[in-house]
A = this chain, B = another copy of it.
Amino acid sequence: MTLIDGKAVSAQIKQEIAAEVEQIEAAGGKRPHLAAILVGHDGGSETYVANKVKACEACGFKSSLIRYETDVTEAELLAKVEELNKDADVDGFIVQLPLPKHISEQKVIEAIDYRKDVDGFHPINVGRLAIGLPCYVSATPNGIIELLRRYNIETSGKKCVVLGRSNIVGKPMATLMMQKANPGDATVTVCHSHSRDLKKECQEADIIIAAIGKPNFVTADMVKDGAVVIDVGTTRVPDATKKSGFRLNGDVKFDEVAPKCSFITPVPGGVGPMTIVSLMKNTLLAGKKAIYQ
């Protein structure tokens, strides 16, 4: 069993990005600039945004953090989005989700100029991904593809089961795994809450990508010997032994599943760090205007 070390891979990619940024600056170019809008003080969102800012530093990017209290109006937020759309110094930006209920997340996402939408959530980027055109790919699926690539995991012709059909993980993950590409070319099955045959599908899978948000959902009896298991789950579970009072729990019952696997990602330290580094890669692409002019 090989433990997929997302922390080490992400550290390496950050170094690669930083080296490229140095070259860009040496050639007289400008450092990529990522802006993030954070509304309120949700613990998870605070952590994610702090980690993104830290990753920007590691990559040599400029970063800006724009904060609002939870009573910000949708109009104020949309005005800021419009301002960032027009700000030539900002290469890409994100609006950290979730947003307070009085604000339409979809409206905000669609207000972002797709050429700066480094989260890859705008319909144009989602559509281009589905069609197979260059675009900003959603960070978590892109990070998983990168792990498969760096660990030389064969995907062509393999049976890949994706658990979960969310817009930011399950659906784009399925799209990437079925594309004519390497990694890709897999036979992809998407299972979800309505699936009657989920367990059987998993048992036959060469690759399981669990993004269902239920701690310890995937158990040893669901996994065949030699399978590759990618765990996207990050549910916060109360844990008195931790300073924070909680720990992150994956969708996979790691202790019993790991011994059966050829490859498995841990939680934390697997997919999580790759998600942030994927955002950095998109920001680098944005800075280089590699996808859109």
Name A residues whose Cβ lies closer than 8 Å to a Cβ of B. 106, 122-133, 156-159, 165, 167, 171-172, 174-175, 178-180, 185-192, 194-198, 201, 204
Which residue of B is nearest A188, CB measured? B190
With A123-B128, A127-B126 as known contacts, state yes or no: A190 contacts B167, CB within 8 Å.
no
With A126-B127, A128-B127 as known contacts, state yes or no: A187 contacts B171, CB within 8 Å.
no
Other than the given A126-B131, A157-B196, 13 more pairs (CB < 8 A) read: A127-B127, A127-B130, A130-B167, A130-B175, A157-B195, A165-B178, A171-B175, A171-B178, A174-B174, A178-B190, A185-B192, A187-B192, A187-B198
A195: chain B residues within 8 A (beta carbon): 157, 187
Tell whether, in the assembled complex, residue B178 and residue A187 are in contact, meaning their CB atoms are under 8 Å apart.
no
Tell whether, in the assembled complex, residue B156 and residue A194 are in contact, meaning their CB atoms are under 8 Å apart.
yes
A167: chain B residues within 8 A (beta carbon): 130-132
A186: chain B residues within 8 A (beta carbon): 194
Tell whether, in the assembled complex, residue A127 and residue B122 are in contact, meaning their CB atoms are under 8 Å apart.
yes
What are 10 pairs between A and B in contact, CB < 8 Å? A106-B133, A123-B128, A126-B128, A127-B129, A130-B167, A130-B171, A157-B194, A157-B195, A187-B195, A187-B201
